[in-house]
Chain A
Amino acid sequence: MLDDADRRILRQMLADPELDPTTLASRAGVTPATLWRRLDRLRQRGILQGIEARVNWRALGYEVEVSLRFTLDKTEPRAFDAFTAAAREVPEVTEIQTFLGSVDIRLSVIARDMAHWQQIYRDRILPLPHVTDIEPLMLVATLKDSAELPL
């Protein structure tokens, strides 16, 4: 199981992924050698799965982001698999979640501008299979986006 040192290390890393190892070790109250050992063990156990670069699509010219919420036809047993497989083929899809609730599947979709969005929506989203309802939420601003956990 995790002990307090593991928890402190993860808490600090999740709160500020940009920390250099020396600062991370000192904030977590461990020596740099302990930090390396603990991180190694957390990776081996699959708890720490990796560190990824966060791509800022706006800086790459994608000004529009829409959260699309789908309801699927549940009389069709393959609806989820067929829908997900087709959604993976759309390059502008950046996230896929499936849910238990009134929404079945959500996609995050990005576009360069509204004209591009309209084109993606007509050519790539509307043809997705087994959809009974689509509801868009247009992103205005992200005020918080953190991987922090109340450990």
Chain B
Amino acid sequence: MTDPFAPDATDIAILKLLARNAELSAAEVGRAVGLTQPAAWRRIRRLKESGAIAGRRVVVDRAALGFGVTVFLGIRLAARGRPALEDFERAAAAVPEVQTVQHVLGRFDYRLRIVARDIPDFERILRRRIMTLPGVGQVEANVVLSEERRPGPLG
């Protein structure tokens, strides 16, 4: 494993700005943190190259787009072993309504995040697309009521 990128206070300030708005130009970032445009541009490039910025996330009003329901599923596989995990992961990631697939340790083997138009749509997805995934055992569903992302330990 390579050493983690050790950002200084200016890097952290830039990361905080871009985590809120990735569309800021290098000039705007520079003005906000007291750097010239080229200096800001170099810092941003280093944040990307180090992997500290992993990409961009488009934030939309899901409800306004007709997806009023988000559900988190905890799934326990009925069968174990590597082929079972790989089959499940491939099939789960291919479901269009599945936004997130995470392998976890604990009471469940996987966490899934699912978007649906409404509760009947969710029921259809659960029956036709989730319960039919290879190796699925116990499934627990929790409907999201509210959600917030936090800035995390950015100083």
Query: Which A residues are within 8 Å of any B CB, using their own CB?
Result: 2, 10, 13-14, 17-18, 45-62, 67, 88, 91-103, 106, 110, 135-151
Q: Tell me the complex Cα distance, A60–B142, Å.
A: 31
Determine the chain A residues whose CB is within 8 A of the CB of B131 once the complex forms. none
How close is B128's CB to chain A, nearest CB, in angstroms? 13
* Most B Cβ at <10 Å: residue of A61, A88, A101: A101
How close is A4's CB to chain B, nearest CB, in angstroms? 14
B59 touches A57 (CB 8 A): no
Q: Say whether, besides A55-B54, A56-B52, A106-B72, A95 and B147 are in contact (CB < 8 Å).
A: yes
Within 8 A of A (CB), among B116-155: 140-150, 152-154
Interface size on B, residues (CB 8 A): 61
B144 touches A146 (CB 8 A): no
A14 touches B18 (CB 8 A): no
Q: Say whether, besides A52-B56, A149-B115, A92 and B153 are in contact (CB < 8 Å).
A: yes
Query: Which B residues are within 8 Å of any A CB, using their own CB?
Result: 4-7, 15, 18-23, 50-62, 64-65, 67, 72, 74, 89, 92-93, 96-108, 111, 115, 140-150, 152-154
How close is A122's CB to chain B, nearest CB, in angstroms? 17
Determine the chain B residues whose CB is within 8 A of the CB of A60 once the complex forms. 4-5, 7, 52
How close is A62's CB to chain B, nearest CB, in angstroms? 8
B52 touches A99 (CB 8 A): no
Determine the chain B residues whose CB is within 8 A of the CB of A48 once the complex forms. 58-60
A-B contact pairs, 22 of them (CB 8 A): A46-B61, A47-B65, A48-B59, A50-B20, A50-B59, A52-B57, A53-B19, A53-B55, A53-B56, A55-B19, A88-B150, A95-B147, A95-B150, A97-B146, A98-B146, A99-B143, A137-B107, A140-B103, A142-B102, A144-B92, A144-B100, A145-B102
B96 touches A17 (CB 8 A): no
The 4 A-B residue pairs with the shortest CB-CB distance, nearest first, are A101-B142, A61-B4, A59-B51, A56-B54
Q: Say whether, besides A13-B58, A51-B21, A52-B20, A94 and B150 are in contact (CB < 8 Å).
A: yes
A51 touches B59 (CB 8 A): yes
